[in-house]
Amino acid sequence: MWSLDDLIIAGDFLVCPDHGLLCVEDLWREIEEAGDVRRGILTRAMREIRVGSESSGETELRLALVRAGLPEPDLNWTLRDERGVFIARLDLAYRRYRVAPEYDGRGHAKGAQFRKDADRWDAIRGQRWDHVRILSHHLRPNPQVAVTKVARALVAAGWMPGQR
């Protein structure tokens, strides 16, 4: 009875390498062996499952962006400086445009983690990347708010709507 997006979020979780649970091929095999349901909803979900998403918020953001016609971002990509020194692991990265949309859930809202994140945001911008911070109210109830924020950053960096 899950929605398409809930299935995609669950699939992203299952195939995330950090969780070590399954690979994409395992999910395809399960559909092949057990069959699909509800007019192929599992197959539709599989088409949008990606390896690398580490949270439901990251998956929701990616789905909103791609469905709105923005390019598919790289997931949890490592940003390094010109010497190869680690700067940050970016939730979503448009490397060509140096735009880094990131979903910040409530776990990032206070204390030591917030201070660490704030320093990290400065380091990302210090590498000439546009860090686009997305909070839950940018995605829900209207994901167009998040899409607009990211699209503006991409256009400012040279992306043209309709370009993948």
In whole angstroms, what is the distance from residue 49 CA to residue 24 CA? 8
Any idea where the domains of the chain sit in the sequence?
4-46, 56-156
DSSP run (H or E) holding 100 = strand 99-103
Contact 105, 136 (CB under 8 A): yes
Task: Encode pLDDT of 98-151 as tens digits.
Answer: 999 999 886 556 677 777 878 889 999 999 999 999 999 999 999 999 999 999
pLDDT at 54: 92
Q: Which CATH architecture has domain 56-156?
A: 3-Layer(aba) Sandwich (3.40)
pLDDT digits (tens, 9 = 90+) for 52-102: 999 999 999 999 999 999 999 999 999 999 999 999 999 999 999 999 999
Amino acid at residue number 57? G
**Of 64, 114, 124, the residue nearest 88 (C-alpha):** 124
Query: Around Cβ 88, how many Cβ atoms within 10 Å?
Result: 21
